[in-house]
Amino acid sequence: MAKMSKEELLAKVRAKMKEKSGNRKDVNEFRPPKVEEKKEQELYFRVLPELQKGDVCASGVAEGSCDLWFYPNGNHWFQKEKLECPRVYGVGDCPICNFGFELLEDEDDKQARSTIAKNYLSRAYNAVNVYFEKYDRNPEELRGKVMWFNLPKTVFDIMDACINNDDPGDEMEPKACGLFYDPDESYIFKLHIKHKSGYNNYESSSFLAKSQSPLVALPDGSPDQQKIDQILAQRHYLPSKFPACDIDKLEGMLESMKRHILGDDDDSGKTISVSNTPKKEETPKEEVKETPKEEAKEAPKEEPKKEVKETPKEEPKKETKKDDGDLSGDPEIQALLDKINNE
């Protein structure tokens, strides 16, 4: 067996560590803060244009080009595990989505169809790079920083409407329209977060039509190209933020979902029923308008006592794996690290 080079060993260690890190939060990802009842918050940023192959970015150089101003992505959540959906990425069929579509074909009840879609169809998002303005109303830790943001559907729809709007309005009432992310004449976006039925609500968000200007301007109002280039070089290569789709893992997740969601017996012989989307991850990221109504109707159908019994058995195991950042106990990684040190 040929001896691996130091570079190959290092690449293998990094891949293993990335796999072990699981769903650990990316420090460069912006997630809107959850606002409490009767409170609201405003944040101000500009959307940056997509990267093209060879462009300088935060991680070095972009490996490929993005055809759109956003990067579509989607995933399935179940028992705190997240797996990317090949259907959303357009790279193949998804076993979980396919099973959901089969169930929908045989179901006419509106409430039941909504539950099936919630449990088995992936949640689609659109990621963008954003630059937070140096405004006092922005938290100090965000000012002047470039982060990537998986847009809530409400926010994406507002931006998509701007792209498709050809009416600039007039001097008294200007309207944002067209390429809102052009660094030479972009618009500032006001992310207005309100509390509604236990979730973040973004319906009052909007572009500031009178803010159309260069990303950074010189005293005469013209674009400061040097500083603009410095900001653009801090963009994140979005495809690298999402792991590859794994059909085998998706099929395994589907089998677990069938046992739990459909009420089949688990190993202990008890029947349980759970949703595939954890509330803690869902709440700050996306407004789900119908969720409160659905949960109110579904509550009588669930078996609270059986869920309470199952929770203590499952939760500790899952959270221990998620919070464990010490990889020294992994024999495979330790062996690889020892080989690198010996080199």
Higher-confidence position of 21 and 45: 45
The CA distance from 64 to 52, in Å, is 6
Looking at per-residue pLDDT, the higher value among 122 and 265 belongs to 122
Q: What is the pTM of this model?
A: 0.68
Residue 56, CA atoms < 13 Å, CB-side half-sphere: 7
Residues 240, 71: Cα–Cα separation, whole Å: 11
pLDDT (tens digit per residue) in 197-220 = 899 999 999 999 999 999 999 999
Q: Mean pLDDT check: name the lowest of 21-30, 198-207, 217-226.
A: 21-30
Give 32-41 pLDDT, tens digit per residue. Answer: 999 998 899 9
* pLDDT tens, residue by residue, 142-184: 999 999 999 999 999 999 999 999 999 998 899 999 999 999 9
- Does the pLDDT value for residue 326 go beyond 60? no
Output the pLDDT for position 124.
Answer: 87
**pLDDT value for 219:** 95
Which pLDDT band holds residue 309 (cuts at 50, 70, 90)?
Answer: very low
Average pLDDT over residues 69-91: 92
User: Cα(142)–Cα(147) distance, rounded to whole angstroms?
Assistant: 9
Per the prediction, the chain carries an average pLDDT of 81
Note whether 59 and 237 are within 8 A (CB): yes
- Domains of the chain, first to last: 26-251 (3.90.198.10)
Q: Which amino acid is at 103?
A: L
Do residues 58 and 48 make contact, with C-beta atoms less than 8 angstroms apart? no
pLDDT of residue 276: 40
Integer CA distances (angstroms), 71 to 87, 92, 124, 263, in order: 14, 17, 11, 36
Listed range (13-17, 94-98, 215-219) with the worst mean pLDDT: 13-17
What residue type is 160 in one-letter code? Answer: D
E strand or H helix at 42: strand 40-47
- What are the structure tokens assigned to 102, written together? 């089969």
Q: How confident is the model at residue 14 (pLDDT cuts 50, 70, 90)?
A: low
pLDDT of 265 higher than 70: no
**Percentage above 90 pLDDT, the chain:** 61
| Closest-CA residue to 83 (of 250, 239, 248, 261) | 250
User: Of residues 156 and 15, which shows the higher confidence score?
Assistant: 156
Q: How far is CA 37 from CA 27, 31, 198, 286, in A?
A: 27, 18, 8, 17
Instruction: Give the whole-angstrom CA distance, residue 116 versus residue 105.
Output: 11
- Taking the C-alpha atoms of residue 216 and residue 223, their distance in angstroms, rounded to an integer, is 6
Closest by alpha carbon to 215, among 279, 276, 131, 289?
Answer: 131
